[in-house]
C-alpha cells in the first residue's frame, strides 16, 4: 500500500518562493509526499526549510534539472503524480550579464523535466490520468505597459519579452504548452508579478535595499526610479500556487498579482520610512542613501497584472495588505542578519562586492 496519497515534486524548493511553497505544502498536506529537487545554486538555501526538514512527508533531492539522467532517476524512484516547477535563474540583471545560463536552466532544464515527466507518466497504465505539470512563470513575458495607460496584463496578452530572463521564461512557457498540445500532458502555467517577503536573495530590490539601509550603504536606484512594479507578498503567491495546482483546469494559464502598483522611487522612500522606524531612527534618516545610477538595459517601464481570472474561477485573492507585508518583511531581515551574512558570503561574495557593495 502507498504510504502517501500523492507525491508532488517541487523544483527550486530551496529558493525564495519555492521554500515558502514547500513549507506550505508539507504542513497543509501530511498525506502527500513533497519531494524538493534543487541544485542549491547561489540562490538555493536549505536554511529556508529548517522548520519542515524532519517532517515525514518531506524529502530533499540535490539535483540539476539540466541533468536528464539525474531527473529521470529521481522520478523513477519517487514516481511523482505532479510536478510544480520553480527552479530557474531568476534575476534580470544576471541575465543581462550571462544570458546563456538562463537558456540552460530556464529553457533546457524545463524541457528535461517535461521529458522526464512524459516518460514516467506514459509508462504508467493510467498515463496522464490524475497527473499535473505546473510551470511557475512571470508577468515579464508580456513585455511592458505604459504608466497611466490603464492597461493590465491579461492571460491573453501577447508575449513580448525584452530581457534575456523574460525571453527564457517565455520560451519555457511555450514549451510547457507544447507538451500539452502535442502529448496531451495536463499542464498549468501561472504568471506572477513581483514577490517580496522573507528569504529573498539580497540581489532583488527590496532585500538589497533593506540590507543597504541597515549598513548605511548607497541605494542604487536605476534611471529616474519611475519604473512601476506590482508587488505581492510571497506567502500569497504560495497560496495561489497551491490553489492552481489543486483546482486549476488542465491546459490553463492563470495570472497572479497583488493589484499593488508602486513606482520604484515611491517604494524606496516607503521602505526607508519603515526601516528607519523599525531601527528607531528619526524619520528621513536614510533618505540621503538614495543614489541614482545608470539605468538597467532594456528596463521595462511598467508591469501590472489583471488577476480577475484566478479570483473568478478559483476564488483566490491576496490575503496580505502591503503595509503589513512590508513591515513583516523589514522586521524579518532585521531579525535575521545571520541569514543575510550567510547568503552574502562564500561563493556569492565576489559577485556581491562587484555589483552592490560599492554602489
CA separation (Å) from 232 to 64, 222, 261, 316, 317? Answer: 28, 21, 10, 13, 11
Q: Where are the alpha helices (DSSP H) in the chain?
A: 16-28, 68-78, 92-97, 99-102, 109-122, 164-183, 205-214, 234-247, 264-279, 308-314, 322-335, 337-344, 349-352
Q: How far is the CB of 31 from ligand DAU (least distance, A)?
A: 32
Give the x-and-dash track for 149-188 against ligand NAD (CB under 6 A).
Answer: --------------------x-------------------
Q: How far is the CB of 141 from ligand DAU (least distance, A)?
A: 9
Q: Which one of 58, 128, 142, 165 is the catalytic residue?
A: 165
Nearer to ligand DAU, 75 or 201 (CB): 201
Question: How many other C-beta atoms are found inside a 10 Å radius of the C-beta of residue 13?
Answer: 30
Q: For residue 305, state whether it binds ligand NAD (rule: CB under 6 A).
A: no
Nearer to ligand NAD, 101 or 285 (CB): 101
DSSP state of 199: T
203 catalytic, yes or no? no
Nearer to ligand NAD, 74 or 219 (CB): 74
41 binds, among ligand DAU, ligand NAD, none (CB under 5 to 8 A by kind): ligand NAD
89 catalytic, yes or no? no
What is the crossing angle of helices 205-214 and 322-335, to 10°? 50
Nearer to ligand NAD, 176 or 221 (CB): 176
Give the x-and-dash track for 92-131 against ligand NAD (CB under 6 A).
Answer: -------------x---x----------------------
Q: Which of 26, 33, 39, 52 binds ligand NAD (CB under 6 A)?
A: 39
The closest of 195, 247, 153 to 12, measured between CA atoms, is 195
What is the crossing angle of helices 322-335 and 337-344, to 10°? 70
321 catalytic, yes or no? no
- Here the contacts of 354-357 (C-beta below 8 Å, separation 24 or greater) are 355/93, 355/203, 356/203, 356/208, 356/212, 356/217, 356/220, 357/217
Which neighbouring-strand residues pair with 228? 263, 302
Q: How far is the CB of 226 from ligand NAD (least distance, A)?
A: 20
172 binds, among ligand DAU, ligand NAD, none (CB under 5 to 8 A by kind): none
Active-site residue list: 139-140, 165
Amino acid at each position: 500500500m502507498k504510504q502517501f496519497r500523492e507525491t508532488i515534486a517541487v523544483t527550486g524548493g530551496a529558493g525564495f518562493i519555492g521554500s515558502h511553497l514547500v513549507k506550505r505544502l508539507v504542513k497543509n498536506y501530511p498525506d502527500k509526499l513533497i519531494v524538493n529537487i534543487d541544485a542549491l545554486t547561489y540562490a538555493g538555501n536549505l536554511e529556508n526549510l529548517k522548520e519542515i526538514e524532519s517532517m515525514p512527508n518531506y524529502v530533499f533531492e540535490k539535483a540539476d534539472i539540466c541533468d536528464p539522467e539525474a531527473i529521470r532517476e529521481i522520478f523513477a524512484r519517487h514516481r511523482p503524480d505532479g510536478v510544480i516547477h520553480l527552479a530557474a535563474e531568476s534575476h534580470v540583471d544576471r541575465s543581462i550579464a550571462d544570458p546563456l545560463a538562463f537558456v540552460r536552466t530556464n529553457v533546457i532544464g524545463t524541457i528535461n523535466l517535461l521529458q522526464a515527466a512524459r516518460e514516467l507518466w506514459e509508462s504508467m497504465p493510467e498515463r496522464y490520468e490524475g497527473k499535473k505539470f505546473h510551470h511557475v512563470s512571470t508577468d515579464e513575458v508580456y513585455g511592458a505597459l505604459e504608466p497611466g495607460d490603464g492597461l493590465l496584463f491579461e492571460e491573453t496578452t501577447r508575449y513580448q519579452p525584452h530581457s534575456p530572463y523574460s525571453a527564457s521564461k517565455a520560451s519555457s512557457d511555450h514549451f510547457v504548452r507544447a507538451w500539452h498540445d502535442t502529448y496531451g500532458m495536463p499542464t498549468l502555467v501561472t504568471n506572477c508579478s513581483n514577490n517580496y517577503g522573507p528569504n529573498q536573495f539580497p540581489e532583488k530590490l527590496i532585500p538589497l535595499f533593506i540590507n543597504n539601509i541597515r549598513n548605511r550603504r548607497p541605494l542604487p536606484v536605476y534611471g529616474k526610479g519611475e519604473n512601476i512594479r506590482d508587488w505581492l507578498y510571497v506567502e500569497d503567491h504560495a497560496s495561489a500556487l497551491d490553489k492552481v495546482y489543486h483546482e486549476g483546469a488542465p491546459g490553463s494559464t492563470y495570472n497572479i498579482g497583488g493589484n499593488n502598483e508602486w513606482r520604484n522611487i515611491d517604494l524606496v522612500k516607503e521602505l526607508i520610512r519603515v526601516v528607519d522606524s523599525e531601527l528607531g531612527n528619526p524619520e528621513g534618516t536614510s533618505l540621503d542613501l538614495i543614489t541614482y545610477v545608470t539605468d538597467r538595459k532594456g528596463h521595462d517601464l511598467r508591469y501590472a497584472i489583471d488577476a480577475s481570472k484566478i479570483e473568478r474561477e478559483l476564488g483566490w485573492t491576496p490575503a496580505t495588505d502591503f503595509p503589513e507585508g512590508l513591515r513583516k518583511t523589514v522586521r524579518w531581515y532585521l531579525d535575521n542578519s545571520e541569514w543575510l551574512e550567510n547568503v552574502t558570503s562564500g561563493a556569492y561574495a565576489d559577485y556581491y562586492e562587484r555589483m552592490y557593495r560599492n554602489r
